Amino acid sequence: MRRDYYIFSHGRLKRKDNTIYFIDDIDNKRALPIEQIDNIHLFGEIDINTKLLNYLAQYGVMLSFYNYYGYYSGTYYPRKKNVSGFTTVHQSYFYIDYDRRLEIAKAFVYSAIHHILRNMRRYKEKIKDDLIQEIECEKENIDKVKEIDELMGIEGRIRKKYYSSFNDILKNGFTFEKREKRPPSDPVNALISFGNSIMYTSVLSEIYKTQLDPTISFLHEPSTKRFSLSLDIAEIFKPLIIDPIIFSLINNRVITKDDFKIEGEICFLSESGRKKFISEFEQKMSTTIKHRKLKRKVSYRTFIRLECYKLIKQFIGDEKYKPLKAWW
């Protein structure tokens, strides 16, 4: 079974015969058999060459790069093998037809809110009831929305209320005043930004394995500098996967304030903190749930791929898209 590899040290990635090797800056060598690699995430300063990139492209392996602070910089995205002009044309049509675009965008937001409320209800003895009710009221306004900007506004207000509940959920001296992305200035913001980066690249990896075009999105405006469909689908999975990981890491004292660094106005995870987060993330992504329709166990990672397939079915007219709403 193929899996993701995370490299935190500085060094070189090179191909020798049919194996990828990572050689760190003190010449320790580690083999990464190509058949076992799904994606490689590079957090250190890594030297690579075209021989390596060409070999990775043969196997559809993506390289994701993260900056000094651990935040996502970009992805080496090999030429897609699963391509379909038919699907791309129909995906584009759903973007161009504003009503159809809005319908899909609403589906993403409904799913995100479902998972936000699911998290809050798990801590309902600590969270004020009126906060959950306020989010429910905001949710009722979605049907009336006629513009994407209005929809984003509702989603933004809901997230603000949701984030205000974090102080009731988190323990061990961690507090959260407000969401700050550029740059994150406290440990909780640093965890959210790091987790969202990992979620974004994981979604992009699953899109790559399907016939979807990652640049044609519906909730977020398509851009020349990002795979915006990944942002759309990640909205579903951030509250389902990333936020519970943050709650668990903090409340169970797996991550402490010693796992963060502050330089100027930027707060970020140290290498030890990143490793702890990634360990929990990979464990979560491999966790399986009995799928009600497929009648078999499905991992969280597979749920992301299934979401892509459901979108394709909508685009080609097979089945109306119904976003994931966790029932477990």
Taking only the tens place, the pLDDT of each residue in 132-165 is 999 999 999 999 999 999 999 999 999 999 999 9
Tell whether residue 155 is among the known ligand binding residues. yes
CATH class for the region spanning 3-76: alpha beta
Q: Render pLDDT for 236-278 as a digit per residue (tens, 0 to 9).
A: 999 999 999 999 999 999 999 999 999 988 999 999 999 999 9
What is the structure's pLDDT at 139?
96
What stretch(es) of the chain map to CATH 1.20.120.920?
85-315
pLDDT at 223 over 80: no
CATH of 85-315, one of 1.20.1440.230, 3.40.50.720, 3.40.50.1100, 1.20.120.920: 1.20.120.920
pTM strictly above 0.85: yes
The Cα 8–Cα 304 span in angstroms is 26
Q: What is the reported pLDDT for 17?
A: 82
Closest CA to 188 of 206, 220, 163: 163
Torsion sign over Cα 230, 136, 242, 297: negative
Q: Is 160 exposed, middle or buried (0-12, 13-18, 19+ CB in 10 A)?
A: exposed
Where are the domain boundaries for CATH 3.100.10.20 in the chain? 3-76
